[in-house]
C-alpha cells in the first residue's frame, strides 16, 4: 500500500525561509514528508517548473457581513467567498463575526458559525465589537476561550465606531484574556467635518471620497492606537495601512520597541485615488476605505513591506455589486444611480481571488520581492500573528497540506467572467498579470484546479485558536505603575 495519499512531485517548494527542489508527501490531510524521490502516492501531482507554496492566509475578509454605510448584507456567502479564495491560491480566511444591533454577542457569534458551515476552506473569525456594553464585556472572555482570539474595532463610521474609552476598555480585556486586536484606524470627526464641507461645496463625486479622508486622518488615528497600545503594553495590529505617513508612525513605534503590527492590502499596492475619478459612476467601483492614495505611497508601502515594518498583504475583501443586485444582496455601489454622492457609496472591493496574483505580479514578477518574501507576506506572517502557525502558513512535516501550486510564467488577463466571487465586477478588469496558482489543496484535497473550483461546501473547518506567544505583551509600561498587576 502506498505510503502517501498524494505526492506533489518535482516542484520548487518555497517557504518563508527556503526554496528547494523536493517532493511533498501528504497523508491524512497533513504533510508527512518533504524530500527528493519520495515513493509513489495513490495520487500524483506533477509540479515540475512550478512553485509549491503554502496556501495563502487572508487575515482580513468580509463575508456575509452588513455594510457600514448601507447596513445591507454584502454579496458573497461563505461558499462563494471561500470558493473564490481557493481559486486564487488562498486556503485559510479570517473573516468577521460582527456584533449585530439588537443581538447578544454570543448569539451573533453562533449565527456566524452557522453561516460559515458552507465554507469550502478553513476559516476563523475576528469578533467585531461596536458597543462594549456590560453584556459584551461579560461574554467576551468565554468567546475568546472558545478560540475567537482576536477582536476587531472600527474607530470610524457612525454605525459601529468605538470611542477611545471603549478602545482602552477592550484592549485591557483582550490583554487579560490573551487575545489580540485589529483596528480600522481613521479619525472619525475629522472625516465627518471634511465631508460636510465637501458636500456643501457641491463636491460629491466618488473621487472626493479620497479628499474626505486624506492620509492625515489615518496617520492621526494610527498614532493614537500606538499610544494607547503603549500605555497598556498591549500588542495589536493596524489594518489596511495605505500611506507613507501612517506606516512611518508604525516604524517609529517599532524602533522604540513597541510591539505593533501593520498590514496593507493588494488594492493599496495597485490602485490610486485617480481610479475613483471615472465617468458615469464607474469611479464607485474603486471606493474603499481608507481611500487608495498616490503612486509615491505605493512605492513607500513596498519599502515598508520589504523591511518588515508592514508584515502582510490581505484583501480586505468587501464585495458590493456595481449594477445588478443578486440573490444574496440587494446592496449596490450606486444606490441613487451614477450621481450617488460619495458618502452613500458602500466601501470595499472584491479581492479574495486576485490578492495573491496581484501581489505575485507586482512583487515577484515585478522584481520588488523574492519568492520567500511573497510567502511570508501572504501566508506565513498572518498565520504566525493570528495563532495558526505552523498548522497553517508553511510546508513542513506536521503542517496541514494547504498548498498552492504556482505557475510563475502563466500569463493571465483578469476578467470578471473568469472569477468565482458572487458580485458583478472586478476592479482589475483587463489587468495582465504573470504568475497564477494553477492548483490549490486544502488539507490534502484539491479544491481548485486549472481555473475551476472543484471543492465542496462544508469542507472548511473552524480554526479555534489557543493562546500563543507571538502576541505576548513585553512587560514594559511607560510609568512605574503596572495597571494589570494583581488583576490577572
Quote the least distance from Cβ 212 to Zn ion, whole Å: 18
Q: Which residues contact 155 (CB under 8 A, 6 or more apart)?
A: 161, 162, 167, 183, 184, 185, 186, 187, 188, 221, 224, 225
Nearest alpha carbon to residue 261 among 234, 295, 288, 297: 234
Q: Please identify, using beta-carbon distances, which residue of 314 and 378 lies nearer to Zn ion.
A: 314
Quote the least distance from Cβ 109 to Zn ion, whole Å: 18
| Residue 245 contacts Zn ion per CB under 5 A | no
Q: Please identify, using beta-carbon distances, which residue of 76 and 316 lies nearer to Zn ion.
A: 316
Size, binding site for Zn ion by CB under 5 A: 1
CA angle 96, 182, 474 (to 5 degrees): 140
Span of 63-71, 287-295, 315-323, 356-364 interacting with Zn ion by CB under 5 A: 315-323
Contact 401, 443 (CB under 8 A): yes
Span of 260-268, 270-278, 288-296, 314-322 interacting with Zn ion by CB under 5 A: 314-322
Q: Please identify, using beta-carbon distances, which residue of 263 and 316 lies nearer to Zn ion.
A: 316
Quote the least distance from Cβ 483 to Zn ion, whole Å: 30
In Å, what is the CA distance from 308 to each residue of 94, 233, 312, 370, 473? 21, 21, 9, 14, 19
CA distance 488 to 478: 20
Quote the least distance from Cβ 60 to Zn ion, whole Å: 5
Report the chain's C-alpha Rg in angstroms: 22
Contact 404, 53 (CB under 8 A): yes
Q: Please identify, using beta-carbon distances, which residue of 27 and 267 lies nearer to Zn ion.
A: 267
Q: Please identify, using beta-carbon distances, which residue of 91 and 347 lies nearer to Zn ion.
A: 347
Q: Which of 218, 316, 400, 449 binds Zn ion (CB under 5 A)?
A: 316
Quote the least distance from Cβ 475 to Zn ion, whole Å: 31
CA distance 440 to 75: 24
Q: Please identify, using beta-carbon distances, which residue of 58 and 316 lies nearer to Zn ion.
A: 316
Q: Which residue is nearest to Zn ion (CB)?
A: 316
Q: Please identify, using beta-carbon distances, which residue of 64 and 316 lies nearer to Zn ion.
A: 316
CA distance 297 to 368: 15
Instruction: Please name the residue ranges forming H helices in 368-444.
Output: 371-375, 381-385
* Cβ neighbours, 10 Å, residue 299: 12
Span of 274-282, 283-291, 313-321, 463-471 interacting with Zn ion by CB under 5 A: 313-321
Contacting positions for Zn ion (CB under 5 A): 316
Amino acid at each position: 500500500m502506498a505510503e502517501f495519499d498524494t505526492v506533489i512531485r518535482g516542484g520548487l517548494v518555497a517557504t518563508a525561509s527556503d526554496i528547494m527542489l523536493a517532493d511533498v508527501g501528504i497523508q491524512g490531510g497533513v504533510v508527512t514528508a518533504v524530500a527528493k524521490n519520495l515513493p509513489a502516492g495513490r495520487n500524483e501531482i506533477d509540479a515540475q517548473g512550478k512553485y509549491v507554496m503554502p496556501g495563502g492566509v487572508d487575515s482580513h475578509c468580509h463575508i456575509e457581513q452588513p455594510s457600514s454605510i448601507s447596513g445591507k448584507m454584502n454579496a458573497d456567502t461563505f461558499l462563494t467567498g471561500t470558493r473564490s479564495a481557493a481559486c486564487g491560491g488562498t486556503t485559510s480566511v479570517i473573516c468577521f463575526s460582527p456584533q449585530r444591533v439588537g443581538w447578544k454577542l454570543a448569539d451573533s457569534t453562533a449565527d456566524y458559525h452557522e453561516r460559515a458551515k458552507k465554507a469550502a476552506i478553513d476559516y476563523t473569525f475576528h469578533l467585531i465589537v461596536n458597543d462594549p456594553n456590560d453584556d459584551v464585556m461579560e461574554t467576551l472572555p468565554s468567546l475568546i476561550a472558545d478560540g475567537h482570539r482576536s477582536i476587531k474595532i472600527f474607530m470610524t463610521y457612525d454605525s459601529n465606531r468605538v470611542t477611545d474609552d471603549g478602545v482602552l476598555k477592550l484592549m485591557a480585556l483582550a490583554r487579560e484574556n490573551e487575545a489580540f486586536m485589529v483596528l480600522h484606524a481613521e479619525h472619525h470627526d475629522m472625516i465627518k467635518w471634511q465631508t460636510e464641507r465637501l458636500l456643501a461645496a457641491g463636491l460629491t463625486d466618488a473621487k472626493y471620497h479620497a479628499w474626505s479622508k486624506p492620509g492625515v486622518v489615518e496617520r492621526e488615528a494610527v498614532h493614537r492606537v500606538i499610544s494607547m497600545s503603549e500605555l497598556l503594553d498591549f500588542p495589536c495590529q493596524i489594518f489596511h495601512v495605505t500611506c507613507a505617513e501612517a506606516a512611518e508612525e508604525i516604524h517609529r513605534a517599532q524602533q522604540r520597541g513597541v510591539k505593533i503590527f501593520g498590514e496593507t492590502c493588494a488594492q493599496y499596492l495597485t490602485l490610486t485615488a485617480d481610479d475613483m475619478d471615472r465617468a458615469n459612476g464607474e469611479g464607485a467601483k474603486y471606493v474603499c476605505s481608507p481611500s487608495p492614495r498616490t503612486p509615491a505611497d505605493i512605492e513607500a508601502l513596498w519599502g515598508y513591506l520589504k523591511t518588515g515594518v508592514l508584515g502582510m498583504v490581505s484583501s480586505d475583501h468587501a464585495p458590493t455589486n456595481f449594477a445588478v443586485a443578486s440573490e444574496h444582496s440587494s446592496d449596490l455601489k450606486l444606490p441613487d444611480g451614477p450621481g450617488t454622492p460619495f458618502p452613500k457609496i458602500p466601501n470595499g472591493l472584491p479581492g479574495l481571488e486576485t490578492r495573491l496574483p496581484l501581489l505575485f505580479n507586482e512583487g515577484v514578477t515585478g522584481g520588488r520581492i523574492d519568492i520567500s518574501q511573497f510567502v511570508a507576506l501572504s501566508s506565513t506572517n498572518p498565520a504566525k500573528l493570528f495563532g495558526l502557525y505552523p498548522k497553517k502558513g508553511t510546508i513542513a512535516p506536521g503542517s496541514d497540506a494547504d498548498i498552492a501550486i504556482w505557475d510563475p510564467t502563466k500569463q493571465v488577463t483578469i476578467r470578471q467572467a473568469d472569477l468565482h466571487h458572487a458580485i458583478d465586477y472586478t476592479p482589475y478588469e483587463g489587468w495582465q498579470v504573470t504568475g497564477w496558482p494553477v492548483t490549490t489543496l486544502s488539507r490534502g484535497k484539491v479544491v481548485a484546479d486549472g481555473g475551476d473550483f472543484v471543492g465542496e461546501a462544508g469542507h472548511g473547518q473552524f480554526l479555534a485558536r489557543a493562546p500563543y506567544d507571538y502576541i505576548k505583551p513585553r512587560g514594559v509600561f511607560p510609568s512605574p505603575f503596572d495597571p494589570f498587576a494583581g488583576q490577572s
